[in-house]
Amino acid sequence: MSTTSSSSNNNKGALIFLHGLGDTPAGWSSLSSQLPSIQPSLSTSNIEYVFPPAPTIPITINGGTTMSGWFDIFDWPIGVGCKNDEDGLKKAVNDINDCVQKLEAKGIQKDRIVIGGFSQGGAVALRAVYQQPNESNENFAACVNLSGWLTFEESNGVNDNVPLLWGHGSFDDKVLFEQQAYGVAKLGEMGVKSVEDSSYPVGHSAHDEEMVAFAKFLDQTFFPMDDACKD
């Protein structure tokens, strides 16, 4: 697991960010420098960045060829109504829970942890925050889904107040753009109350303006009082 931090304290925040299918933590580890370059408050002295690696598994759409993936993919492109790999999704959420426990052992509280991801990683992030049972009734700080999709029909009812940032490319031909409108609407029906959704003129990739929105969202999540003082 790739982590980036330089100090620890009880007020520190953390971002756990999951890469997409066929990628590695290196594909997104630059966030630990890119986001602070946009919002200095997100420096590694304030935020611990965690980039867990997906396991290597057979992927059905690739004829069973193994590659890094959080769960199996049965349909391509990934549109509304695609088949889910329930067992793989549950294992992926458990991997996130392990990351959360390690951060909590360092003194970073759950309500100071943001779960995010790109594509497959975004799908897992949504599930980890809004669907998995939450017996502790402790909320995450926020959720970030970049070009991912919704894989469940009911929320856990506990984290409905956790804010969500959902960014998606309007020309996405892999995780189809329709997934954003569908997912945002369904989450609203489930009771999720705060969703910030935006689209960008790209395919299945990130956009510079999306990174600016990402940094601003994290800054407002981790340091709301500071932002209020700026106003």
Catalytic residue flag (residue 30): no
The answer to whether residues 125 and 144 touch, using CB atoms and an 8 Å cutoff, is yes
Question: How many beta carbons lie within 10 A of that of residue 135, not counting itself?
Answer: 8
CA distances from 5 to 44, 46, 51, 212 (A): 5, 8, 12, 21
Which of 41, 119, 147, 155 is an active site residue? 119
| Structure tokens belonging to residue 7 | 């100090």
- Catalytic residue at 204? yes
What would the two tokens of residue 110 be? 């759950």
**Active-site pick, 23, 72, 85, 172:** 172
Catalytic residue among 32, 68, 155, 204: 204
Residue 2 annotated to the active site: no
Q: At what angle do helices 120-130 and 178-190 cross, to 10 degrees?
A: 0
Which residues are the active-site residues? 119, 172, 204
